[in-house]
A and B are shown apart, each in its own frame.
Chain A
Amino acid sequence: MRLHPMPEFGSFTLLLALALSAYTLVMGGVALWRTRGMAAGVDGGAGRLGETARRAGISSFVALSCAAFALVWASFTNDYSVSYILHHTNRDLNTAYKFSALWSGQEGSLLLWAWLLSAYGFVLRMRHKVDVRLSAFASTILAGIQVFFLLLLNFAAPPFAIQPGPVATDGFGLNPLLQYPEMVIHPPMLYLGYVGFSVPFAFALGALMMRYPGEKWIHITRRWTMVTWLFLTCGIFLGAHWAYSVLGWGGYWGWDPVENASLMPWLTGTAFLHSVMMQEKRGMMKSWNVWLIFSTFMLTILGTLLTRSGIVSSVHAFAQSSIGDWFYGFILIVFAVCLFTFFKQRDHLKSENRLESLVSRESSFLFNNLILLAACFTVLWGTLFPVLSEYVQGTKVTMGAPFYNRVNLPIGLFLLFLTGIGPLLAWRSTSLRSIRRNFILPSIAMGVALVVLLGVGVRPWQAGDDWQATLFSLVTFTLAAGVITAIGAEFLRGANVVATQTGKNLVASTVLLVRRNTRRYGGYIVHFGIVVMFIGIAGGAFNQSHEQEMGFGDTLKLGPYRLVCKSYTQDSNRNYDTEYALMDVFRGGKKITQLAPEKRFYIASQTSSTMVALHSTLASDLYVIYEGKNPDTDRPIIKVFLNPLMNWIWIGVLIVVGGTFLALVPNLARTAARVAVEAPVVEAEVHHV
């Protein structure tokens, strides 16, 4: 009998983690039950039980870390006795990709999910003193989620399953599409986002179960939610950038069910981040917020169900398997628990205030939520409609980009509009005078932008068949000008007030203004980033492409660029053989760069993939693909795209990331409050978090 020390160690640690998580769930629950209604400190020994549950939860992180380490170790040491390693790696795989094998397949990605969940749980349990009882509730709920994933890992999708028969000398290799640097960070980012929403969900459910007084749980979870949202945002856009750079079809978003699965919780999470402010400030929308975070969590699970159960077709075929039934069961349990808790405690969620005016900040948040949820519904509807169609008509249909683009465009434009006007409205009610004052500059900017755009030739009536796309771009650019002006005016107005108060110059005043209320101005920067992304997306209306067979010295013209084929060459290493073209790129008669689009043939998996060559500027991307040789003529085929404003999308994402980081920074008041112990601070300087 062969010995497999590392896989057996991994399997043991997974079982141990399951036992520890189950202990945290059961004993944590018992401790909370016994201490219900008791005053702090009077717990009759249940407090000690709760403490053992907390420590078991912490230990489960250690056990899962060992399991993750065991799988990575097996990958690095080419242990092909482990079925997962055999199917997802090979000897000549780059070291970074051997590491990323941890999340390249079903079992590994579930292990990553469970490990990240335990890591979040670890942080939560270490910081339990922020509110011991609420943290105990959240810890127990997280343990419940963790038990589900560990049951899957131990019984339905074990990552350390031993391959029967003799040990293979080499593995089948990693999916070529995943052999790209971004794939080393995109899945962990996405998973950090997915899994992270478990924490605000656990806090919300816990707060509801214990009838937590006030809105402190929102303050506790605010940073958790924002960090999670940030991870999910980065994960989604890294995936989009990967699709753009690797898949070689010139686009970045294909509305595949897996992409949709990541977008849905992002939309509801964004809605939650906005509407939760109404609860914090005015004690409104409590039920709504609770259901938003419940839905966000359930959508992360539903997304996993959709992509792994095989009920919808996806190009992410590597993620499909037969564990869907487990997820159906889990979603039903989660939904039942949420529903039961909500109905039992619904009187606790009564609003303290009501909305007072249609023209108010509250109202704009409400409509913002409506838009985001409408977008979420559209995406969910589009993802599930093929299943519904098969059930009703007996035939499956495809829900591709034409559907999503048409339905989501008006929703997106409405959202862009609200992004601009929302922050200009006052809480409770906005006077006509205030509207006039705040809206005059954005309106002028929109008017000027419209005239300039028409002047430079963005004229739908002259665009022929492209009139719809051109009109969409015109509307987007015009709205964007208004929103950017509105955001700029908000900064300027605030900075002027600070400058008057402090006598500082405008730049220093702006910095001070932002530091005094990082959340508000960080939020504006996030909005600005979203507008920049919208501009980039609207640039897609002017995409051009051209495909041509190209021999040596042949020329291809597209937009302002001229490409001349210099040579074709081949290369190979132990992992793949490659063919690539060397193309000189000219603009205005001057050579600006040389591009080398590739086609790779991966030896272990016997599959080929393209590597796009890009020349990126702020104005446009020149995107060149080597499609292979025409079998009839044996001449290489080159496809070139000219994608205007593509970089604006990625720059927009970076601005969103920067804005979110800024919003996470504590306000100046915190520092000032500490200083206040020694020296009193001027009252006007103090702004609360």
Chain B
Amino acid sequence: MFEFAARLSCRTGLLRGVRPLRGLSTPSVAAPVGRFRRFAGAGMVCLLAVVMLGATPGSRFEKMGHEMICTCGCGQVLLECNHVGCPVSPVMISELHSGIDAGGTDTSIFNWFETKYGATVLAAPIRGGFDNVAWIAPMAVFLLATIGTGFLVKMWSARSAQRRAVSAAGLATGGDAVRERIRRETEY
């Protein structure tokens, strides 16, 4: 599955600028470090593949129609606006059809809609520049927090190891307090 994810990611440009993972394309003599790197790389590819996931409908029209908002004020995705007699969505839908039929790229069509209806027509900020902050910040916070937590856990583990000898001595004396603590800590 990792290999598949890697192939997909490379094909779809997800990993543009990232070197292909050696371990996935050609078999290599796996030293422990190399093996770890390979697994880490595969994990990264998998994570990135999953990051870019999203329920996208089949056709290009469906896909693009779900990435825009009806501007009538209902706040619904363009193709999901179900207001009877909505004056805006049929016009926008026909404009989308025209844009696709005219052979425009996704970007050019989105730009055209943005120029006509304003930035709020896009269901997510995809214009580059400051819009990128919207995507980067949550992932950055998530990654930093994960690394920070891992670091914290490692630091605490190291400190605990130093104290373990003292704890072992406490256990050896077999006091009621220790027994009570063990009971409390293993209850559920």
Interface-central residue, A356, A363, A373, A389, by most chain B CB under 10 Å: A356
- B119 near A370: Cβ-Cβ < 8 Å: no
- A401 near B188: Cβ-Cβ < 8 Å: no
Counting CB contacts under 8 A, is A248 at the interface?
yes
Which residues of chain B have C-beta atoms less than 8 A from A256's C-beta? 75
Which residues of chain A have C-beta atoms less than 8 A from B185's C-beta? 281-282, 427-428
Measured CA separation A541–B59 after assembly (Å): 14
- B145 near A358: Cβ-Cβ < 8 Å: no
Name B140-188 residues within 8 Å CB distance of A: 141-142, 145-146, 149-150, 152-154, 156-157, 159-161, 183-188
Which residues of chain A have C-beta atoms less than 8 A from B118's C-beta? 395
Q: Which of A189-197, A265-273, A433-441, A469-477 contacts B (4 or more CB under 8 A)?
A: A469-477
Which residues of chain A have C-beta atoms less than 8 A from B152's C-beta? 355, 366
Measured CA separation A282–B186 after assembly (Å): 10
Counting CB contacts under 8 A, is A335 at the interface?
no
Which residue in A356, A466, A471, A472 is a CB contact (below 8 Å) of B157? A356
Shortest C-beta distance, B126 to chain A (Å), equals: 8
Measured CA separation A666–B169 after assembly (Å): 36
Number of interface residues of B (CB under 8 A): 67
- A381 near B137: Cβ-Cβ < 8 Å: yes
Given the known inter-chain contacts A466-B56, A628-B85, please indicate yes or no for A400 contacting B160, CB distance below 8 A.
Answer: no
Which residue in A282, A358, A540 is a CB contact (below 8 Å) of B55? A540
Q: B32-56 toward A: CB 8 Å interface, digit per residue (1/0)?
A: 0000000000000001011111111
- B188 near A519: Cβ-Cβ < 8 Å: yes
Which residue in B1, B134, B184, B187 is a CB contact (below 8 Å) of A403? B134
Counting CB contacts under 8 A, is B106 at the interface?
no
Measured CA separation A464–B157 after assembly (Å): 47
Q: A343-379 toward B: CB 8 Å interface, digit per residue (1/0)?
A: 0000000000011111000010011001001100110
Interface-central residue, B50, B139, B154, by most chain A CB under 10 Å: B50
- A472 near B188: Cβ-Cβ < 8 Å: no
- B186 near A427: Cβ-Cβ < 8 Å: yes
Chain B binding surface SS class: helix
Which residues of chain A have C-beta atoms less than 8 A from B51's C-beta? 406-407, 409-410
Given the known inter-chain contacts A248-B82, A282-B185, A397-B134, please indicate yes or no for A405 contacting B55, CB distance below 8 A.
Answer: yes
Q: Which residue of B lies closest to A395 (CB)?
A: B119
Interface-central residue, B5, B57, B60, by most chain A CB under 10 Å: B57
Name B61-91 residues within 8 Å CB distance of A: 63, 66-67, 69, 74-77, 80-82, 84-85
- B134 near A381: Cβ-Cβ < 8 Å: yes
Name A239-266 residues within 8 Å CB distance of B: 247-251, 254, 256
Measured CA separation A509–B46 after assembly (Å): 42
Which residues of chain B have C-beta atoms less than 8 A from A424's C-beta? none
Q: Which residue of A lies closest to B145 (CB)?
A: A370
Shortest C-beta distance, A549 to chain B (Å), equals: 13
Measured CA separation A291–B25 after assembly (Å): 48
The 6 residue pairs across chains A and B that have the minimum distance between CB atoms? A628-B84, A400-B123, A403-B124, A249-B80, A520-B188, A356-B160
Which residues of B pack against A, CB within 8 Å? Answer: 1, 4-5, 8, 47, 49-60, 63, 66-67, 69, 74-77, 80-82, 84-85, 118-125, 129-131, 133-135, 137-139, 141-142, 145-146, 149-150, 152-154, 156-157, 159-161, 183-188
